């Protein structure tokens, strides 16, 4: 796409104004959370909005973006521009993916199906969480010809793990994302104070409960005894940390690219590459795991420097607007993943809400790319930024 492609959303909104129409909800990424809060029950709202401990890392993620500023260049002829990018050898319409977000049916009854439909329409990849409210196959059908990746919460039963990976491959998920930072849940006061944890209530268990290997290990079927099945799954996918030597198991059972999510130290990125992984996702889980952890954006440059030339380096945690995407790309990310903003879009209006948030972000990204003097994501380097004290 050349010229204003995604940026057309801006024209569309202004033209609708001539007919007295305004957007379904805010286009301001900083107002999205408050707007979602008005429509959501406190349990689900705080499950999404909340973070670990004191919230220091969540705030640090945003502060790290605020400390970097773009330095726009003029008269660069950025009229014709494109967000197209290649990630792991595949061309994407923009350097943006939807981060794995579990239990989406607490946000909207259509949950992951709605997210998959909206993303597929725009050609943006989804990363389906192991904690999905719908099965791998149901989400694949909703995603259709759209690109899809699968995020693994690594079950401690190898047969169940292999069965889930085989189903994911068969259903057209091309890339495996292995999340390392959430082998047990952090201390999350907002959820604790309400005693609210969706998956022990049976939300987000569609993948294991539909899995033949998982079902084979149950004394009674999930239909007869849902409570025991859910508890069996909880003990299988949380509570067990693993070592670097175990990655060879995943490598042996997945014949596509594998990325490790939750990497914040350059030495861990190096170990990932040494273990045969195709890349890393620099992330602190949106501040939801280690309270006091380094801002993900501050961790990015050293990791890009360590492995960027030989492996894929993706980024998430704190991305809200187009400028944030540009800053992460300038610091070495090949693409970014968006978390909470699209979850709030889903909570507002199902697939339409996800589409509105995503089109808004991509329009803002394309406009800000051009106005800061760049024609493509590949033009960005640390030289595009300055750092505020």
Ligand X SMILES: Cc1cc2nc3c(=O)[nH]c(=O)nc-3n(C[C@H](O)[C@H](O)[C@H](O)COP(=O)(O)O)c2cc1C
Residue 48 binding: pick among ligand X, ligand 173, none (C-beta 5-8 Å cut-off by kind)? ligand X
Note whether 102 binds ligand 173 by CB under 6 A: yes
What is the sign of the dihedral through the CA atoms of 3, 5, 9 and 12? positive
Q: Least distance from C-beta 288 to ligand 173, angstroms?
A: 4
Note whether 131 binds ligand 173 by CB under 6 A: yes
**90: β partners:** 87
Note whether 103 binds ligand 173 by CB under 6 A: yes
Kind plus residue range of the DSSP H or E element containing 282? strand 279-282
| DSSP-assigned letters across all residues of 115-180 | HHHHHHHHTPPEEE-TT-SS-HHHHHHHHTTS-EEEEE---S-HHHHHHHHHHHHHTT---EEEE-
Q: Which residue is nearest to ligand X (CB)?
A: 339
Residue 199 binding: pick among ligand X, ligand 173, none (C-beta 5-8 Å cut-off by kind)? ligand 173
Binding-site residue positions: 47, 100-102, 129, 151, 153, 179, 188, 261, 283, 285, 288, 316-320, 339-340
Within 161-200, which residues bind ligand 173 (CB under 6 A)? 182, 199
**x-or-dash pattern for ligand X, window 312-351, by CB under 6 A?**
----xxxx------------------xxx--x--------
Q: What is the largest CA-CA distance in the chain?
A: 70
> Is 285 among the residues known to form the active site?
yes
Q: Is 275 helix (H, G, I), strand (E, B) or coil?
A: coil
Within 260-279, which residues bind ligand X (CB under 6 A)? 261
Closest CA to 126 of 111, 138, 143: 143
Query: Long-range contacts of range 169-172, CB-CB < 8 Å, 24 or more positions apart?
Result: 169/254, 169/255, 169/256, 171/136, 171/137, 171/139, 171/140, 172/140, 172/143, 172/148
Binding-site residue positions for FMN: 100-102, 129, 151, 179, 261, 283, 316-320, 339-340
Q: Least distance from C-beta 224 to ligand X, angstroms?
A: 27
| DSSP-assigned letters across all residues of 59-114 | HHHHHHHHHEEE---SSS--SS----EEETTEEESSSEEEPP---GGGT-TTHHHH
Q: How many residues bind ligand 173 (CB under 6 A)?
A: 8
**x-or-dash pattern for ligand 173, window 200-239, by CB under 6 A?**
----x-----------------------------------
The residue ranges that bind ligand 173 (CB under 6 A) are 102-103, 131, 182, 199, 204, 285, 288
The residue ranges that bind ligand X (CB under 6 A) are 47-48, 99-102, 129, 131, 151, 179, 261, 283, 285-286, 316-319, 338-340, 343
């Amino acid at each position: 796409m050349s010229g204003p492609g995604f940026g057309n959303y801006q024209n569309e909104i202004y033209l609708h104004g001539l007919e007295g129409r305004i957007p379904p909800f805010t286009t301001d990424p900083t107002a999205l959370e408050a707007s979602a809060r008005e429509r959501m029950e406190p349990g689900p709202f705080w499950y999404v909005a909340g973070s670990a401990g004191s919230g220091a890392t969540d705030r640090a993620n945003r502060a790290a973006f605020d400390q970097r500023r773009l330095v726009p260049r003029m008269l660069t002829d950025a009229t014709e521009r494109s967000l197209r990018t290649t990630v792991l050898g595949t061309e994407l319409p923009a350097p943006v993916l939807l981060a794995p977000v579990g239990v989406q049916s607490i946000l909207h009854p259509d949950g992951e199906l709605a997210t998959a439909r909206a993303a597929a329409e725009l050609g943006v990849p989804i990363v389906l969480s192991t904690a999905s409210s719908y099965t791998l196959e149901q989400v694949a059908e909703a995603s259709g010809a759209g690109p899809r990746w699968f995020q693994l919460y690594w079950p401690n039963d190898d047969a169940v793990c292999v069965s889930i990976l085989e189903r994911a491959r068969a259903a057209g998920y091309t890339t495996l994302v292995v999340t390392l930072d959430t082998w047990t849940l952090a201390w999350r006061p907002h959820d604790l104070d309400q005693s609210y944890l969706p998956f022990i209530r049976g939300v987000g268990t569609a993948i294991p409960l539909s899995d033949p290997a998982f079902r084979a290990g149950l004394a009674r079927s999930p239909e007869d005894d849902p409570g025991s099945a859910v508890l069996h799954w909880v003990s299988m996918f949380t509570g067990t940390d693993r070592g670097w030597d175990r990655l060879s198991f995943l490598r042996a059972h997945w014949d596509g690219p594998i990325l490790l999510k939750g990497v914040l130290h350059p030495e861990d990125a190096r170990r990932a590459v040494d273990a045969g992984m195709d890349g890393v996702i620099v992330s602190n889980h949106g501040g939801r795991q280690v309270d006091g952890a380094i801002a993900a954006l501050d961790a990015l440059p050293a990791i890009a420097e360590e492995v960027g030339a030989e492996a894929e380096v993706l980024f998430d945690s704190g991305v809200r607007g187009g400028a944030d995407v540009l800053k992460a790309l300038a610091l070495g990310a090949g693409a970014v993943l968006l978390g909470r903003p699209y979850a709030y879009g889903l909570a507002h209006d199902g697939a339409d809400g996800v589409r509105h948030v995503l089109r808004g972000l991509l329009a803002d990204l394309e406009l800000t790319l051009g106005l800061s003097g760049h024609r493509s994501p590949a033009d960005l380097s640390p030289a595009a930024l300055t750092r505020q004290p």
